[in-house]
Amino acid sequence: MSAGAAIPNLVRGRDVTADRTIDADVAIVGSGPGGSIAAYRLASAGARVVVLEEGGYHTRPEFRMQEEWSYPNLYQDHANRTTDDLSITVLQGRSVGGGTTVNWTTSLRTPAATLDFWKRKRRVEGVSLEALAPHWDEIERRLSVHTMEPAEINENNRVLREGAKRLGYGFEPLPRNVSDCVLTGMCGLGCPVDAKQAMHLTYLPDAAARGAVIYADARVRRLVRKGRRVAEATAEVLDESGDRAAGPTLTVRARTFVLSAGAINTPRLLQRSAFPDPYKIVGRRTWIHPTLASAAHFDRRIEPYFGAPQTVGSHHFAVRPGKVGYFIETPPAQPMLAGLAHAGFGPEHRRAMKELPSSAVLIGLLIDGFLDEERGGTVTERAGGRLSFRYERVPPLEEAMREALKTMARIHLAAGAREVVTFHEPPLRIRSESDLAAIDAASVAPNRCALFTAHQMGGAPMGEDPGIAVVDSRLRHHLFDNLYVMDGSVFPTSLGVNPMISILGLSSLASSALAKAG
Amino acid sequence: MLTRRQLVRRGIVGAILFAAAGATAAFWWPTRRRRPRPGLRVFDESEASILAAVATAVLAIEPGAPSPEDVDVVGRVDALLARSPAPVRREFARLLHLFENGTTGLITATGWTSFTAAGPASREARLRAWETSRIAVFRTGFQAMKRLCAAAYYSSPASWAAVGYPGPPDVLA
């Protein structure tokens, strides 16, 4: 078991009993991958850095592999975040370390084709594989990114590998950011042995060792502007429950502000602060890798709740010219997540749950944002501080939903599944290739077929054209000289891979340049 | 101009029903209440009774396994909602009344009795009608109830043995 370094000088909500005014060189909102590596780079360059994190500071002693504790405490809106119509479940981290505390560890670099698309279609300049490579090299070393040994691959992932192999689909081992992983499979609940090299164990302690001060339980309410500059940020200190204002406020004055609150909360903060948005782009074009799930029953034990998730993936269908591509991965399936996700009700739902030990589960993630007709999601801050999130479906997306479902069913059947159970309402049962026509016939309208997202991107995109981008290619706001966005919001499309390493690499590139510029 | 079908698809009809039917429910079709439960922070007695009936039908736990009452599904959902913003709490309570209401039973052609007074077959038909309704707001309502019941039940360690989940591995020693 690796020893988890505590974050020196971290301030919790309960430590703040009166209003405080804080002067800093750089104020960073959010402690996920974007904010953490920016804090490290800037503090390393000698800047006085303050990080304001809305979530609590939760660490290994609390990570006891209990879904009933982890989901309400480590996810946005107690893991009840969804689109307005509940048709897409939004899993998004909320604690010191952000999404890295609860993600499933997949550590892939941004595909070259995605960077090329941004350059050609969204006027992004200087964000290239060559520019990012040295940053990624260093990040991957710091986070112990590596692929698993064959013996470390669980049954659920072997099913994907076997099925893909028999069908001739490409598949690959997925690198993970773990050190001395003991394969609990509980990554989504906070790693119980500190094997996962999340931000609260890596770049945040590194930044704090160089003088950065991290505040937990500090929810930034608004930014105050003065001409072309941001003058201060005001935050409310949250109480022990993590939900309600405890009373004291923090006023942070800084020379530079960095927003790293993630692709839903960063646009909300800009909206809440009533910052100008002449082209109506803040919170628009939010991309989410709309994610389908599919389960299959086998005549042997799979135990999809144990063992490292996402050690094998398939990008065989990632590029489908003129269509929405998708990739396939393997989630962990503990009972609560399985119970939430399984479609239907009554005996059919119960039966699916009782087959959990012999079930394999796949997810299909749609690569959204690359077709002209796609509009993606719209994030709006409503009165009373509530989120409105809508996601627009277009026919190519529904086509890809059906194709991804069929691909997952084929993989499971090829690997020897007795029966595939889809997440349609009501669920379809598929026992052979000839049953796949049922997927073409079934409705995939909102709440007729379960969709999830664990990857939130866009809403404050980068690019040189202020008509379509909120920040420039160095991640500086087009209208404010001392305001930067360093998180998944800046991606002009989705990525086609799990986002952590892309966010780290791009934020590292931008914050290094900012540090040099002084 | 919008056709009726478009209106239905956009959920406008559903939204109006939501507003109107909830108000009348309590007068026309009284909810069959279970014994009063102390300690709830969000639900009143009738809401707790409706949710308990929904949980029983949605979860379909066989005899011998811990029942939704044993796991206190209602109390767990209540505790979760107590941490949610007031509008979320209000909307969910309104949803329960609407689902209970016989008027929506008529709209979905699944009988005019209240949900708590209906028999098992009628309860299943009502849930199925909401699950697959052409009216988007009913499908949303079904998902809200189903997901909260499933999450509350299966997050409880008491539920694990019956589905064959051995619990977390022993790595904390």
Q: Do residues A365 and A329 make contact, with C-beta atoms less than 8 angstroms apart?
A: yes
Buried b (16+ CB within 10 A) or exposed e, A212-242: bbbbbbbbbeebebeeeebebbbbbbbeeeb
- Chain B hits for A334, Cβ within 8 Å: 165
Rounded CA-CA distance A115/A506 in Å is 11
For residue B2, what are its two tokens? 């919008």
- Chain B hits for A448, Cβ within 8 Å: 132, 139
When CB atoms are compared, the residue of A77, A345, A384 closest to B146 is: A345
Question: Which of A388, A363, A394 has the alpha carbon at shortest distance from A376?
Answer: A394
At residue B171, the pLDDT reads 87
- Give the residue carrying structure tokens 């703040």: A16
Question: Which of A40, A297, A371, A344 has the alpha carbon at shortest distance from B60?
Answer: A344
Question: Which of B101, B144, B135 has the alpha carbon at shortest distance from B14?
Answer: B135
ipTM score above 0.90: yes
Chain A: nearest CA to B171, how far in angstroms? 8
Q: Do residues A478 and A471 make contact, with C-beta atoms less than 8 angstroms apart?
A: yes
Strand partners, A328: A314, A364
Q: Do residues A367 and A494 make contact, with C-beta atoms less than 8 angstroms apart?
A: yes
Q: How far is CA B103 from CA A72, A469, B26, B127, in A?
A: 35, 49, 11, 14
For the sheet containing A457-458, what is the strand order? A387-391, A377-381, A286-287, A457-458
Q: What are phi and psi of A313, to 5 degrees?
A: -140, 165
At residue B30, the pLDDT reads 58
Q: Give per-residue pLDDT as tens, B131-145.
A: 999 999 999 999 999
pLDDT confidence bin for B22, thresholds 50/70/90:
very low
Buried b (16+ CB within 10 A) or exposed e, A359-379: bbbbbbbbbbbbeeebebbbb
Query: pTM to 2 decimals?
Result: 0.95
Best interface-test mutation with A: which of B133, B135, B137, B154 has the largest number of A CBs within 10 A?
A: B154
Q: Give per-residue pLDDT as tens, B98-116.
A: 999 877 777 777 777 899 9
Q: What is the pLDDT along chain A (518 residues), one digit of tens a residue?
A: 444 568 999 999 999 999 999 999 999 999 999 999 999 999 999 999 999 999 999 999 999 999 999 999 999 999 999 999 999 999 999 999 999 999 999 999 999 999 999 999 999 999 999 999 999 999 999 999 999 999 999 999 999 999 999 999 999 999 999 999 999 999 999 999 999 999 999 999 999 999 999 999 999 999 999 999 999 999 999 997 878 999 999 999 999 999 999 999 999 999 999 999 999 999 999 999 999 999 999 999 999 999 999 999 999 999 999 999 999 999 999 999 999 999 999 999 999 999 999 999 999 999 999 999 999 999 999 988 899 999 999 999 999 999 999 999 999 999 999 999 999 999 999 999 999 999 999 999 999 999 999 999 999 999 999 999 999 999 999 999 999 999 999 999 999 999 999 999 999 999 999 999 87
Q: Which phi-psi region, left, alpha or beta, contains residue A365 (left: φ > 0; alpha: ψ -120 to 50)? A: beta
pLDDT confidence bin for B34, thresholds 50/70/90:
low
3-state helix vs strand vs coil in chain A, percent to 5 = 35, 25, 45
B6 near A CB under 8 A: no
For residue A100, what are its two tokens? 């890295």
Alpha helix locations (H) across A168-287? 203-209, 262-272
User: Across the interface, do B139 and A305 touch by the CB < 8 Å criterion?
Assistant: no
CB atoms within 10 A of CB A456: 30
3-state helix vs strand vs coil in chain B, percent to 5 = 65, 0, 35
Q: What are phi and psi of B80, to 5 degrees?
A: -65, -45
- Chain A hits for B159, Cβ within 8 Å: 335
What size, in residues, is chain B? 173
For residue A52, what are its two tokens? 């304001």
Question: Which of A204, A203, A259, A222 has the alpha carbon at shortest distance from A490?
Answer: A259
B22 vs A332, residue with greater confidence: A332
At residue B20, the pLDDT reads 44
Chain B: nearest CA to A389, how far in angstroms? 15
When CB atoms are compared, the residue of B59, B61, B169 closest to A184 is: B169
Pairing of strands A457-458, A145-146: unpaired
Chain A: nearest CA to B44, how far in angstroms? 22
Nearest CA in chain B to A386: B85
Helix axes B45-59, B136-154, angle to 10 degrees: 80
Rounded CA-CA distance B42/A378 in Å is 31
When CB atoms are compared, the residue of A66, A72, A339 closest to B150 is: A339
Pairing of strands A359-366, A377-381: unpaired
Identify the helix (H) or strand (E) that includes residue B125: helix B120-131
At residue A383, the pLDDT reads 86
HSE-up of residue A270 (Cα within 13 Å, Cβ side): 32
Buried b (16+ CB within 10 A) or exposed e, A280-296: ebbbbbbbbbbbbbbbb
